[in-house]
Amino acid sequence: MKLLEKVTLGKETIKNAVAMAPMTRSRANIEGVVSDLTTLYYTQRASAGLLITEAINITELALGSPLTPGLYSDEQIEAWKKVTKSVHDQGGIIYAQLWHTGRVGHSVDRKGQLPVAPSAIGIKGQQHFTSQGMKEYETPQELTTQEIKQIVKDYGHAARNAIKAGFNGVELHAAFGYLPNQFLSESANLRTDEYGGSVENRNRFVLEVMQELVDVMGIDKVGIKLSPTVYYNNITNSDPVAQFSSLIEALNELPLTYVHLMNGLLPLDDFPNYPKNAIQTFGSVSKHTVIANAGFNKESGEAELQKGIAKIISYGALFLANPDLPKRFELDAELNQPDHATMYGGGEHGYTDYPFLED
Ligand SMILES: Cc1cc2nc3c(=O)[nH]c(=O)nc-3n(C[C@H](O)[C@H](O)[C@H](O)COP(=O)(O)O)c2cc1C
């Protein structure tokens, strides 16, 4: 079975084609420092061919929701060092997912400052989780060109810290409506400067960040997560095929480890221009290793690998609930079901107490 065979990923050979998808667990402290419980959580899952961390804030003001971790203070770096060391001791490989939430945040958790975005357009029809409960989205502040250049540098700084913390690589979170995805979207980016107005200009921010990450990390150390057909967080494009194919073609020119593609999980009836299968449409454009995500189980993951586009399948909720997921796939064992109530926030319950098969 391909899922459980070794695969090459950049310069590494990884032990199977089962990756753990990035998952926010909101269990850092108020300073964005992860605890020993987080070390245990990732170590428990080190049998994955590749672990991708929860999204990690690149700066204090990149933050969208409370209790999410950071990678900008010495204390945060020291805490992540414990995670990477323990994962490496188990023979695991771990990438840090780098996060700037842009307009998906709220001033109550940003020292009173409004969230920032390509354009001053707030998210409608959704509410945001804050330390003071659910709140309506605010109208974000439009970034100046100088501020955009600074954020590109901030990603580079976080990547330097990821090296210090011992991560094998970094993944840019350019999916699910966060800042990079906002730049890529016609509904969130109405800029008329070099960062908006055309497919190429909307790609510019993501490509500048990716170049910065490659400059810092080197060859085969950088991946990117994209969700071309996910319209959550008010992200839409009139022609997503043109936008994301052009982006992936430009990414082909960079020495990346992988492109991580998330299929849309929401109904696409109102979006006739959206391809039904993002892995097929966009994965076939990529020259890099493709990681396929969203909604896979063992059988559908294996079937996806057999198609020959994706080389690795990432599992979110199933890996959250099954610390020994590759083993369970191998033995065709029953799977623990994820508990939605304990996904975000709290302590060990629903975090590190999902049983292993041996238990
Ligand atoms: C609790 C939870 C937190 C998540 N947090 C993130 C995140 O921080 N970054 C990210 O790119 N995706 C995040 N996701 C999305 C997953 O990476 C993945 O795309 C999604 O769960 C679909 O994969 P699955 O069907 O295998 O669960 C999260 C998903 C879950 C369930």
Tokens of 54: 């929860």
For residue 225, is it within any domain?
A: yes
- Domain assignment of residue 312, given as a range: 2-342
Report the residue among 3, 24, 67 best suited for mutation to probe ligand 1: largest number of ligand atoms under 8 A from its CB: 24
**Any idea of the CA torsion for 51, 275, 242, 229, to the nearest 10 degrees?**
-50
Measure 22 CA to ligand 1 centroid, in angstroms.
6
For residue 358, the model assigns a pLDDT of: 78
Among 143, 351, 124, residue whose Cα is nearest residue 236: 124
Specify the 3-state DSSP secondary structure of 98: strand
Q: Is the CB of 172 under 6 A from ligand 1?
A: no
- Which amino acid belongs to residue 270? D
Q: What is the CATH number of the domain that holds 243?
A: 3.20.20.70
Express each pLDDT in 314-326 by its tens digit: 999 999 999 999 9
For residue 357, is it within any domain?
A: no
* Mean pLDDT across 290-301: 98
For residue 134, is it within any domain?
A: yes
For residue 180, is it within any domain?
A: yes
Measure 329 CA to ligand 1 centroid, in angstroms.
20
* Degrees, nearest 5: CA angle 117-121-126: 100
For residue 350, is it within any domain?
A: no
For residue 41, the model assigns a pLDDT of: 98
Express each pLDDT in 56-91 by its tens digit: 999 999 999 999 999 999 999 999 999 999 999 999
List the alpha helices (DSSP H) in the chain: 36-44, 74-89, 145-164, 179-184, 199-217, 240-251, 278-283, 298-306, 317-321, 325-331
CA distance 356 to 328: 9
For residue 359, is it within any domain?
A: no
Looking at the CA of residue 68, tell me the nearest atom of ligand 1: 8
Express each pLDDT in 210-269 by its tens digit: 999 999 999 999 999 999 999 999 999 999 999 999 999 999 999 999 999 999 888 999
Q: Classify residue 154 by burial, with Cβ atoms within 10 Å: 0-12, 13-18, 19+.
A: buried
CA distance 96 to 261: 17
For residue 183, is it within any domain?
A: yes
- How many domains is the chain partitioned into structurally? 1
Measure 290 CA to ligand 1 centroid, in angstroms.
17
Atom 30 of ligand 1, nearest CA residue = 23
Q: What letter does residue 20 receive in the DSSP assignment?
A: E
For residue 354, is it within any domain?
A: no
Q: Among all chains, which residue has been given the structure tokens 């299929």? A: 263
Q: Is the CB of 64 under 6 A from ligand 1?
A: no
Tokens of 335: 């799977």
- What residues act catalytically? 178
